[in-house]
Chains A and B, each alone.
Chain A
Amino acid sequence: MTADDLHEFTLVVNGRPRELRVPARRLLSDALRHDLGLTGTHVGCEHGVCGCCTVLLDGEPVRSCLAFAVSVAGHEVTTVEGLAGPDGTLHPVQQAFAECHGLQCGFCTPGFVMAVCGLLADQPEPTEEQALEGISGNLCRCTGYQNILRAVHRAAELLAEQGDRP
């Protein structure tokens, strides 16, 4: 069994074009983590249920374990590393998670943060039900979700204060 053919293409990751040379079967999650060194995107199940690997694809949250990197060639990907300011200042969604104790082990957190960014871009003032629906596809084993839900509303407040959009 010989090695896979390699595909060369570009992804725009966190605003920067990044060249990749990977097999077709390289999952987007693995390409981000292992080929581009962006290990903030985590992998918890590799079958699309846990949400740890959530990234924004052209601004919308998707599972990066359920996409081949080659299949999104030329598209824009935003990972958790792309949110904070250049000086490390937390993005309002990140800030809200810190303020509300919305994380414990932190493994699911980048996925939640990206899902919440997607949610708030769509619904800047989510109702309780919308907030719940927005995070309903991400598993957390530590927090019982109580403070994550609080963080969604707090993030909406912070974004409104900044007049910003995720």
Chain B
Amino acid sequence: MKPPPFTYHAPTTVEEAVDVLAEVGEDGKVLAGGQSLIPLLNFRLAAPEHLVDVNGIGALDRIALDDDVVRVSAGVRHARLERHQAVYAACPLLRQALVHVAHPVVRNRGTVCGSIAHADPAGELTAVLVLLDGTVHLAAQRAGQLARRDVPGSDFFRGVFEADVGADELVEAVTFPRLPARAGSAFVEVARRHGDYAVCGAGATVQLDERGRIAAARLAFISVGPVPVAVDLTELLAGAAPARVRLEAVAEQARAAVRPGSDLHASAEYRRHLAGVLAARALQEAVADARDRRDRRREP
């Protein structure tokens, strides 16, 4: 289980990185945290001729918050984002999901952008991106110049390990919108062992109105299809008092939306069942989170 040989590139700027990527094209692969890529190499399931290591690009080691979004650059490790208090205040779903990503030691090295670029249908952050409708910021060299393009989170994932990112493109950053006032979020999952890829996972966001009734609610699921599955519950729930929500209807809508497959760890039928169970749980937790945040804001 030793990786195959490759040519190593260690750019120190984004410009250098995209130049190398343009040069090596399909034969290249970006190395960030390596927590998904290096196992593939060690198993010799992948053998890129070139690795472009972005760990030395100081400019990519940034978390930036503005009035609207949290921007996470390509060098940011899961653990750093998870511990970031201002990010938690702005966008709690990130921490709520990140604690389910593997184990703390893996999160110390793995990167947020790497997880998204990897497009693993079991990756928690894929659901976060879709649920929040964040944006993926890509960089590439076009005609000798650094060119950037943005892809909406809801359009980014194309299939199992496939996303809208070219071989010559670098996921430079991802932005996640701030959670609005009177909103809450949650992430729940069932995994065989704590820290494993989920058999099924669900993220939820809920927007309450001034009277505490549901104004909007959305879910996104992992491990139940080739890409994250988003479910908008707004039509079903708008105007409902949270206590009056018919959870069975929520579960049913979730079960109808997912497209799970069977594998070693779970049958399609069980995953579909879990999608219903977790839909209800995620929704309830998100409502509780919204109320918690409202209550905390009210405190002097």
A–B direct contact (CB < 8 Å): yes
Residues of chain A whose beta carbon lies under 8 Å from any beta carbon of chain B: 4-5, 7, 23-25, 27, 30, 46-48, 51, 54, 57, 60-63, 65-68, 70-72, 115, 118-119, 133-134, 136-138
Contact B42 A136 (CB under 8 A): no
Contact B105 A63 (CB under 8 A): yes
User: Distance (Å) between the CB of B48 and the closest chain A CB?
Assistant: 11
10 nearest CB pairs, A to B: A137-B103, A24-B8, A47-B39, A46-B1, A66-B38, A137-B105, A62-B109, A25-B3, A60-B108, A61-B105
A48 in complex: contacting residue of B3, B10, B38, B51, CB < 8 Å: B38
Contact B104 A136 (CB under 8 A): yes
A67 in complex: contacting residue of B10, B34, B195, CB < 8 Å: B34
Size range of the interface on B? 20 to 34
Q: Given A24-B7, A63-B109: A137 and B35 within 8 A (CB)?
A: no
Digit string of B1-32 for contact with A (CB within 8 Å is 1, else 0)? 11111111010000000000000000000010
Q: Given A25-B2, A67-B34: A46 and B42 within 8 A (CB)?
A: yes
Contact B105 A115 (CB under 8 A): yes
A27 in complex: contacting residue of B3, B79, B104, CB < 8 Å: B3
Contact B109 A68 (CB under 8 A): no
Assembly CA distance A148 to B5 (angstroms): 38
Assembly CA distance A60 to B33 (angstroms): 14
Q: Which residue of A lies closest to B109 (CB)?
A: A62
Chain A contact residues, majority secondary structure: mixed
Contact B1 A63 (CB under 8 A): no
Assembly CA distance A51 to B109 (angstroms): 13
Chain B contact residues, majority secondary structure: loop
Contacts of B2 in A (CB 8 A): 25, 27, 30, 46
- Asked whether B106 is an interface residue with its Cβ less than 8 Å from the other chain, the reply is yes
- Asked whether B167 is an interface residue with its Cβ less than 8 Å from the other chain, the reply is no
Q: Given A46-B1, A61-B105, A115-B105: A24 and B51 within 8 A (CB)?
A: yes
- Asked whether B55 is an interface residue with its Cβ less than 8 Å from the other chain, the reply is yes
- Asked whether B102 is an interface residue with its Cβ less than 8 Å from the other chain, the reply is yes
Q: Given A66-B34, A67-B34, A136-B103: A25 and B108 within 8 A (CB)?
A: no
List 13 contacting pairs A-B, 8 Å CB cutoff, sorted by A.
A30-B2, A51-B103, A60-B79, A63-B106, A65-B38, A66-B34, A67-B34, A68-B34, A68-B53, A70-B53, A136-B103, A137-B102, A137-B195
- Asked whether B161 is an interface residue with its Cβ less than 8 Å from the other chain, the reply is no
Assembly CA distance A113 to B42 (angstroms): 25
Assembly CA distance A66 to B103 (angstroms): 14
Contact B194 A48 (CB under 8 A): no
Contacts of A62 in B (CB 8 A): 105, 108-109
Contact B108 A71 (CB under 8 A): no
